[in-house]
Chains A and B, each alone.
Chain A
Amino acid sequence: MAKKQLALVIDLNVCVGCHACVTSCKQWNTSGWSGPLPDQNPYDADPNGVFFNRVQTFECGTFPATETVHFPKSCLHCEEPPCVPVCPTGASYKREEDGIVLVDYDKCIGCKYCSWSCPYGAREFDPIAGVMKKCTLCVDRIYDTSLEPERRKPACVLACPAGARLFGDVNDPESEAARAIRENAGYQLMPEWGTSPANHYLPRRKTYMRLHEDELVRADNPLKFEADLPKPNFTAPSIDDMSSW
Chain B
Amino acid sequence: MHPAFSVIFLTTLIGAGQGLLLALVTGQWYFVIGATPDQESGAFYAGGAAIAELLLVLGLVASFFHLANPQRAWRTATRWRTSWLSREVIVLPAVMGATFLYGVVHWFGWTPVLWTFGNQKSLDLSMAVGFAAAGAALALFLCTAMIYASVKFIREWASSWTVVNYTLMGLASGFTIAAAYASLAGSSLTEFFAGDALALTLAAMAARIFQLWRNTRLKCRSSMKTAIGVHHGQIRQISQGFLGGSYNTTEYRHGIGSEVVRGLVVLFLFLAFALPAALVAAGWATGEHPMLLLAALVQYVGLMVERWVFFAQGNHVQNMYYQRMA
Chain A residues within CB distance 8 Å of chain B: 12, 19, 22, 41, 46-51, 54-62, 67-69, 71, 73, 82, 85-91, 107-113, 115-121, 123-125, 127, 129-131, 187-193, 201, 203-204
* The one of A12, A47, A116, A121 that contacts B151, using a Cβ cutoff of 8 Å: A116
Max chain A Cβ within 10 angstroms of own Cβ: one of B228, B229, B232, B246: B229
With both chains docked as a complex, state the minimum distance between the C-beta of A49 and any C-beta of chain B, in angstroms.
7
Does B236 count as interface, using CB distance less than 8 angstroms?
Answer: yes
Chain B residues lying within 8 Å of A192, measured Cβ to Cβ, are: 221-222, 226
Does B57 count as interface, using CB distance less than 8 angstroms?
Answer: no
Q: Taking chain A's interface residues, is the majority helix, strand, or loop, or is none over half, making it mixed? A: loop
| Bound form: Cα–Cα A112–B235 in Å | 30
Does B248 count as interface, using CB distance less than 8 angstroms?
Answer: yes
B152 and A193 contact, CB distance less than 8 A: yes
B321 and A120 contact, CB distance less than 8 A: yes
A49 and B246 contact, CB distance less than 8 A: yes
A61 and B241 contact, CB distance less than 8 A: no
Q: How many residues of B contact A (CB 8 A)?
A: 58
A108 and B69 contact, CB distance less than 8 A: yes
| Bound form: Cα–Cα A107–B224 in Å | 35
| Bound form: Cα–Cα A135–B230 in Å | 24
B226 and A88 contact, CB distance less than 8 A: no
With both chains docked as a complex, state the minimum distance between the C-beta of A183 and any C-beta of chain B, in angstroms.
17
B229 and A56 contact, CB distance less than 8 A: no
* The one of B154, B221, B248, B316 that contacts A124, using a Cβ cutoff of 8 Å: B248
Chain A residues lying within 8 Å of B70, measured Cβ to Cβ, are: 109
B235 and A60 contact, CB distance less than 8 A: yes
* The one of A22, A123, A193 that contacts B221, using a Cβ cutoff of 8 Å: A193
Other A-B pairs, 8, CB within 8 Å; known A61-B232, A69-B228: A56-B321, A59-B236, A119-B153, A119-B316, A123-B247, A124-B248, A129-B68, A203-B230
A61 and B234 contact, CB distance less than 8 A: yes
Given A116-B316, A120-B321, A201-B229, residue A111 in contact with residue B67 (CB < 8 A): yes
Chain A residues lying within 8 Å of B75, measured Cβ to Cβ, are: 88-91, 107, 109
B230 and A69 contact, CB distance less than 8 A: yes
* The one of B226, B238, B251 that contacts A189, using a Cβ cutoff of 8 Å: B226
Closest to A86 in B: B83
Given A55-B241, A87-B83, residue A112 in contact with residue B153 (CB < 8 A): no
CB within 8 Å of A: which B31-82 residues: 66-70, 72-73, 75-79, 82
CB within 8 Å of A: which B235-254 residues: 235-248, 250-252
Given A109-B75, A110-B69, A191-B226, residue A88 in contact with residue B83 (CB < 8 A): yes
Does B274 count as interface, using CB distance less than 8 angstroms?
Answer: no
Chain A residues lying within 8 Å of B151, measured Cβ to Cβ, are: 116-117
Chain A residues lying within 8 Å of B294, measured Cβ to Cβ, are: none
With both chains docked as a complex, state the minimum distance between the C-beta of A193 and any C-beta of chain B, in angstroms.
7
Does B199 count as interface, using CB distance less than 8 angstroms?
Answer: no
A117 and B153 contact, CB distance less than 8 A: yes
Chain A residues lying within 8 Å of B84, measured Cβ to Cβ, are: 86
With both chains docked as a complex, state the minimum distance between the C-beta of A26 and any C-beta of chain B, in angstroms.
11
| Bound form: Cα–Cα A119–B52 in Å | 38
What are 9 A-B interface contacts by the 8 Å CB criterion? A47-B244, A54-B241, A67-B232, A85-B83, A86-B83, A107-B72, A111-B66, A116-B154, A119-B318
| Bound form: Cα–Cα A50–B250 in Å | 12
A121 and B230 contact, CB distance less than 8 A: no
With both chains docked as a complex, state the minimum distance between the C-beta of A196 and any C-beta of chain B, in angstroms.
14
Does B150 count as interface, using CB distance less than 8 angstroms?
Answer: yes
Q: Could you give, for residues 87-118 of chain B, a 1 whenever the CB lies within 8 Å of some chain A CB and a 0 otherwise?
A: 00100000000000000000000000000000
* The one of A55, A86, A121 that contacts B318, using a Cβ cutoff of 8 Å: A121
Chain B residues lying within 8 Å of A118, measured Cβ to Cβ, are: 153, 318
| Bound form: Cα–Cα A19–B239 in Å | 12
B228 and A189 contact, CB distance less than 8 A: yes
| Bound form: Cα–Cα A50–B246 in Å | 7
Max chain B Cβ within 10 angstroms of own Cβ: one of A68, A113, A190: A190
* The one of A48, A113, A191 that contacts B147, using a Cβ cutoff of 8 Å: A113
With both chains docked as a complex, state the minimum distance between the C-beta of B177 and any C-beta of chain A, in angstroms.
28
Max chain B Cβ within 10 angstroms of own Cβ: one of A46, A67, A125, A127: A125
Given A51-B242, A86-B83, residue A131 in contact with residue B227 (CB < 8 A): no
Does B322 count as interface, using CB distance less than 8 angstroms?
Answer: yes
Chain A residues lying within 8 Å of B239, measured Cβ to Cβ, are: 56-57
With both chains docked as a complex, state the minimum distance between the C-beta of A83 and any C-beta of chain B, in angstroms.
10
Chain A residues lying within 8 Å of B150, measured Cβ to Cβ, are: 86
B240 and A54 contact, CB distance less than 8 A: yes
| Bound form: Cα–Cα A244–B84 in Å | 91
A58 and B85 contact, CB distance less than 8 A: no
Chain B residues lying within 8 Å of A107, measured Cβ to Cβ, are: 72, 75
Does B86 count as interface, using CB distance less than 8 angstroms?
Answer: yes
| Bound form: Cα–Cα A84–B78 in Å | 13
* The one of A60, A71, A193 that contacts B222, using a Cβ cutoff of 8 Å: A193
| Bound form: Cα–Cα A88–B83 in Å | 6
Chain B residues lying within 8 Å of A48, measured Cβ to Cβ, are: 244-247, 250
A57 and B237 contact, CB distance less than 8 A: yes
| Bound form: Cα–Cα A46–B243 in Å | 9
* The one of B67, B152, B222, B228 that contacts A109, using a Cβ cutoff of 8 Å: B67
